[in-house]
Structure formats: structure tokens, C-alpha cells
Amino acid sequence: MDQAAAGARDARSLPACYRHPDRETGVRCTRCDRPICPECMVDASVGFQCPDCVRGTAHVPRPGGATPAPAAAAPRTLTGGRHTADPRLVTKVLIGLNIVFFAIQQIVGAAFTNRFELIGHAIVPQLGVQGVADGQYYRLLTAMFLHGGFLHIVFNMLSLWWIGGPLEAALGRARYLSLYLVSGLAGSALSYLLAPPNTPSLGASGAIFGLFGATVVLVRRLNYDMRPVVVLLVINLVITFQVPGIAWQAHIGGLVAGLGIGYAMIHAPRDRRQLIQYGACALALVVVAILTLVRTAQLT
């Protein structure tokens, strides 16, 4: 009985990617049938191929001993982006920028934070009347790179590394960066709309929740086990609403934007891929602009 149960468990387990043995995957190359993870997937006319088959370096049996099909000109990710030598480069740059701005906060002090954090409309000591409603729209963006303390930035940067790295490999650099920035702006806009105008907020959490949303869509698309990412998302949402002082508006705004943009990027048909992918980003920015203008009109 024990041997039968063990065999059943082995049958249910997923194979490991042939290039990354530590990553289980349910997707196989359509040419050589080797298991491939999201980082190794190259978009093909039908399904996905491994990098070796795309480069023409893998031995792929052909009917009748025919010559293997010619390699594609440029490997593509799941969403149509280019494969790169460092699939986590943008994530590393974003983490670096957040650390640099946090260091400036510690060196310069509260004056720097007060000038660039998200605030709707308030009288700030030594600065006077400040806020997005007073024309300081840059705060919607700059607040995404500021943090309120050491634990705040450590938690956010660990989340960005764990979630952002694999997602960048699947989307490609340009699409990943667009998703990150637009999700962060959506979080800032909803926070500006719903939070008290004199309550400041800051942090990369809105953008990171956008990455969470897109990751849910990606995991669903690849038919992976949804439970780990859903449990992690639920835990973060519970923390969002139970811990005092967290700008839940930014988290929800980023999450909704990430779900929508992620779905458009991952499910866009090949013949209209870029139009739909970047069109979704543009539509989200239009919504951000509308929310910002509505709130500004309310406060002024």
C-alpha cells in the first residue's frame, strides 16, 4: 500500500525544467518535448519551444530524417518580449532605485520625504501648502520610491525580488516595467482619491500588488498550482486591512490594475499583441488621470 501511495504521489508531481532543475513545470517544448519553465519558454506559432530548439542546437527528430526546421530569428517570451542574458535586470534596477532613495531619506531627513511623498492637500511645516491638489502631480510617482522605515523597505524589496524576478522573465523587460509603473500610479491615484487629503502615504506596495495580480494571471495561464500564490496574496490582503497605518487604497488600486494589465498582456492574441498589451496600459493611465482630476476638483 505504501509503495502504491508513493507511486501515486510521483505520478502527480510535475517534472523539472531541463535548464533549471529546481523549478517544476507543466509545460513542454513542442519540438523536443522537454519540460520548460516560464524563463525558458519561447513563444511559437503553436505552444512554446525551448531556447535550444529556437537556436537550432537541440537534436529534434524529424519524420524521415529530414533536416530540422530553421531557428527563429529572435527568441520571445510568453508575452512576446525578447529573451535577455539577465532576465531580472529591471527588477535589480528597481530595487537599487528604492534603496538609493531610502538612503537619501535617511541622509537628508524629513524635508526630503515631505517634499516627495504622496499627500493630497495639507500645510506642511517649513514648506507651506503642499499636495497633488496644488499641482504637485509628481508625488503620484515619487511616492512609489520612498519608504517609511527599515522594515518597510526590507519587506517590500524582498517581495519585489521574489515576485518580480520570475514575472520579468515571463513578460520581458518593457512589458514588466510598464506593468510596474502603471500599477504603482493606479495605487497612488486611488489613495489620492479615497484617503484623507492631509494623510501622507509612501512605498512601493501599490506597484508590488500589481505584480501580485499579474502573477495570479500567469500562474492560471500556465496551469500551475494556484494555492501558493493565492495564499500569499490573501495573507498580504489581511495584513493590509488589519495593520493600522497601511494605505489599503494603494494596495487595492495596484492589485486591480495588475490583474487587468496582466490579463491583457498574457492573453493577448499574437496578431494584435502589442496593441492590446500597451493599449491596456494606456487605458489604465487614462483612468489614473480621471481619478486624479476628479479628486483635484473636489479639493480645490
Q: Is residue 215 part of a domain?
A: yes
Q: How far is CA 114 from CA 199, 276, 296, in A?
A: 11, 38, 19
> Same domain for 35 and 135?
no
> Same domain for 144 and 210?
yes
Q: Is residue 284 part of a domain?
A: yes
pLDDT level of residue 288 (50, 70, 90 thresholds): very high
Check residue 129 and give its pLDDT: 75
Check residue 205 and give its pLDDT: 93
Check residue 257 and give its pLDDT: 96
Q: What residues are annotated to the active site?
A: 205, 251
pLDDT at residue 3 is higher than 60 = no
Mean pLDDT, residues 59-70: 46
Counting the structural domains of the chain, the total is: 2
Mean pLDDT of the chain: 85
What's the rounded Cα separation, in Å, for the pair 92 and 176?
A: 12
> Same domain for 130 and 48?
no
How many C-beta neighbours within 10 Å does residue 219 have?
Answer: 18
> Same domain for 156 and 285?
yes
The tens digit of pLDDT for each residue in 179-211 reads 999 999 999 999 999 999 888 999 999 999 999
Q: Is residue 104 part of a domain?
A: yes
Check residue 245 and give its pLDDT: 81
Question: What is the DSSP annotation of 228-293?
Answer: HHHHHHHHHHHHHHHSTT--HHHHHHHHHHHHHHHHHHHH--GGGHHHHHHHHHHHHHHHHHHHHH
> Same domain for 55 and 187?
no
Q: Is residue 135 part of a domain?
A: yes
Q: Is residue 182 part of a domain?
A: yes
| 65, 81, 100 - which closes a domain | 65
On whether the CB atoms of residues 258 and 179 are closer than 8 A, the answer is: yes
Amino acid at 182: V
Q: Is residue 228 part of a domain?
A: yes
The tens digit of pLDDT for each residue in 98-112 reads 999 999 999 998 889
CATH number (domain holding residue 172): 1.20.1540.10
The tens digit of pLDDT for each residue in 118-169 reads 999 887 666 677 889 999 999 999 999 999 999 999 999 999 999 999 999 8
- Environment class of residue 187 by beta-carbon count within 10 Å: exposed (0-12), middle (13-18) or buried (19+)? buried
Q: Which range of residues forms the domain containing residue 41?
A: 13-65
Helix 273-299 × helix 173-194 angle, to 10°: 20
Q: Is residue 81 part of a domain?
A: no
> Same domain for 199 and 143?
yes
> Same domain for 159 and 259?
yes
> Same domain for 60 and 17?
yes
> Same domain for 114 and 260?
yes
Q: Is residue 74 part of a domain?
A: no
Q: Which pTM was predicted? A: 0.77
The tens digit of pLDDT for each residue in 212-242 reads 999 999 998 888 888 888 888 888 888 888 8
